A and B are shown apart, each in its own frame.
Chain A
Amino acid sequence: MKELSNSVAIVGVDESDEMGTLPHVSQLSLHLQAIHNAVTDAGLKVSDIDGIFTAGQHSPALLGEALGITPRYVDGTTVGGCSFIMMVGHAVAALHHGLCDVAVISHGESGRSGTGVTRNRDTSLSGQFEMPYGFGGAPTYFGMITNRHMYEYGTTLENWADVAVSTRAWAGLNPKAKFRDPITVQDVLDSPPLFYPFNLLNICLVTDAGGAVVLTRADRAKDCAKKPVYVRGAGEGTEHTLVTNMTDIPHSKATALSGNKAFEMAGVTHSDFDHIMLYDAFTSGPPMMLESLGFCKPGEGVTFFEDGKSTPGGTLPINTNGGGLSYTHSGMYGIFPIIEAVRQQRGECGDRQVPGAKLSLVNGMGGMLSAAGTIVLSHER
C-alpha cells in the first residue's frame, strides 16, 4: 500500500441535517442527508458518485437505488463501528486502480429512535453463551476489558473520569455537540452506576445521526471546492467477536495491526501526530487504544488525559469534536472521527481548531476492540 500513500484525498465531509433525537427521520434519510451534504461540501453532484461504501443494515445497493445512481463499485464491510474507517483504505485501493472515480462512505443510524430500523440480529453465539447470564449491549462487555486493565495496571475510576472531562471540554467548543456543559471528575464518579466499572458519564450518548465522506484521486481533488485532505496511510485488522476470545486482554491485536499498517504506509511515527481521534464509546477506550497503537507502554494511556495533553490547549489534542461521549454516538460512530479530522486539517474548526494541525490520526474499534481501522490524514502531501 505504500505506493498508494497520498494518491487519494478526502474532498467532502458532513453530518446529517440534524443529530440527536429524531423520530421523524428514518435511518435511510439520515444516510441520504449526509451523502447529499458531503457531496455538496466537495463541490460535486450526487451523479458524480460511482462508488458506494456503507456498513450496517442498509446495503450499498439500497443507497444507490435511493440516490438514483448505478455505482460500479460497492463495499458493505460490516465489522462494527470502525467499518467506515477501514473503508477509507478500501476506497483508496479502489480509486487508485480506477474501479471508481468518486467514492462515498456513508453512515446513517437511527440508534435512539429506531425509525425505519429492523432490529433482528444474529444471536446464535451470544444467545447461547452470553445472554443467559444477563449480557447484552456493549456496556456489559467493554467493562470486562476495562476491569482487567484496572487489575493489570492499577488504573482507577478517576483515570477513566479524566477522559470524560477532557472530551466534554472539547464538546463545549463544538456547536454541534449534544452535551456542552463542563463536568468534573467528581461529576463522573457521582453519576448513576450502571455496569461497574462504568457510571453513566463513562458511556457514550445514544443518538440518531448520519455522516458521509467523499473521496477522489488526488489529481481530481484539486478541482473540488475545499482543500483536499490526503490519505497518507490506512490499515485494518480483526481479532474476535466474543470478548472471551480476545487473547491478550486488554491489549488489542486488531488495533495494533491496523496502526502498524497505517503508520508504515504513511511513513510516520507516533511523535509526528499533532491531532488524534479515537473511538470513545467508553471512557476507557481511548487510553487502551493509545497503548495498543504503541503511543505509550501498557497501562500508561491514561496519562495523556491525566496531565492535560489531550484537552483544549494541550500538546496532543484528542477527540476534538467532543467524541461519542459528548458530541454524538448513533451506534456505529466511526464516520464522525473521520469528519472531524478532515475539518481540523482544513482549518475549519473555529474555537476548537488545533493551531497548525498537520497530521491527524483516526483510530476506531468495531465491537469490543474486536476489529480496528486506522487512517493517517494530512492537508500536506
Chain B
Amino acid sequence: METELQRPLPTPMTPEAMPYWDGLREGKLMLPKCGDCDTPFFFPRIICPHCHSRNIGWMQASGKGTLYSFQIAYRALNPHFKIPPPYVLAMVELEEGPRIMSNLINIEADPAVVKIGMAVEVVYEKQTDEVTIPLFQPAS
C-alpha cells in the first residue's frame, strides 16, 4: 500500500530542471551555473540571467546557507499540503549566492525561536521514486 503524499509534487518537472531533480535523488543539491561568467543562479533556465550566455552547466552546492527570511504558516492554503501547521516557510540564501524556497525543519515553528540570519543546512526528503526535495534544518 502506498503511503499518502504529504506535499504537492512538481507537475510538470521541466526539461531544463532535470539535472536539479536528478541530483536530489542522489542526495546532491545541484545549481545551474553559467559557463562564461561562472555565476550560479536559480531557477534553472537555458540563459544566464547575469551575462545572458547560453553556455549553462551545473555545479554541486555545499548545502549550507543562511535563513534569508521566513514565515510561520498557521494554516495551509493548498489542500494537497497535508503537514499539520504550524510550519516554517523558509527562504534560504545558499552559500553560493542563489536563494531558494524550502521549509525549515527540526526547529520549533515560533517567531521567537526562528531567526533570520541563522545558519542552516540541507536535508533530503524522499517523496516518491522520482521526487526528492531539499529541506533545511539549523546547521549542526
Contact = CB atoms under 8 A, between A and B. Distances in A.
A and B bind? yes
B133 A151 contact: no
Contacts of A197: 71, 111
B55 to A, nearest CB: 21
A151 B117 contact: yes
B23 to A, nearest CB: 13
A129 B117 contact: no
A244 B99 CA distance: 5
**What secondary structure prevails in chain B residues at the interface with A?**
loop
Interface residues of B, number: 42
B115 to A, nearest CB: 9
B91 A134 contact: no
Interface in B97-122: 98-103, 111, 116-117
Contact of A244 (B7, B49, B70, B101): B101
A242 B43 contact: yes
A174 to B, nearest CB: 29
B43 A129 contact: yes
Nearest to B75: A194
A244 B31 CA distance: 14
Interface in B9-61: 9-14, 17, 42-43, 49
A195 B72 contact: yes
A145 to B, nearest CB: 7
A128 interface: yes
Given A127-B8, A135-B101, A147 B43 contact: no
Contacts of B77: 134, 136-137, 139-140
B75 A144 contact: no
Interface centre among B9, B71, B89, B98 (most CB of A within 10 A): B71
Contacts of A147: 69-71, 116
Interface string A109-147: 000000000000001110111111111110110011101
Contacts of A123: 11
B1 to A, nearest CB: 23
Contacts of B139: none
Nearest to A144: B69
A129 B71 contact: no
A370 B111 CA distance: 26
Contact of A140 (B7, B17, B71, B100): B71
A243 interface: yes
A158 to B, nearest CB: 14
A153 interface: no
Interface residues of A, number: 34
Contacts, number: 114
B110 to A, nearest CB: 9
A80 B117 CA distance: 31
Contacts of A124: 12, 14
Contacts of B68: 148, 249
A193 B13 contact: no
Contacts of B7: 132-134
A196 B103 contact: no
B3 interface: no
Contacts of B72: 193, 195-196
Contacts of B75: 194-195
Given A134-B78, A134-B87, A144 B13 contact: no
A134 B116 CA distance: 19
Given A133-B101, A134-B87, A197-B71, A128 B117 contact: no
Contacts of B13: 128
A132 B20 CA distance: 15
A196 B116 CA distance: 13
Nearest to A240: B49
Interface string A145-163: 1011001000000000000
A134 B74 contact: no
Contact of A144 (B71, B111, B117, B131): B71
Given A128-B17, A134-B83, A194 B74 contact: yes
A132 B21 CA distance: 13
A144 B100 contact: no
B24 to A, nearest CB: 11
Contacts of A127: 8, 10-12
Nearest to B93: A244
Given A127-B8, A134-B81, A147-B116, 10 more contacts: A128-B17, A132-B10, A133-B135, A134-B89, A193-B72, A194-B74, A196-B74, A244-B42, A244-B43, A245-B99
27 contacts: A123-B11, A124-B14, A129-B10, A129-B43, A131-B81, A132-B7, A132-B8, A132-B10, A133-B7, A133-B89, A134-B78, A135-B101, A140-B89, A144-B69, A144-B71, A144-B89, A151-B69, A193-B72, A193-B74, A194-B75, A195-B72, A197-B71, A242-B101, A244-B42, A244-B91, A245-B99, A249-B68
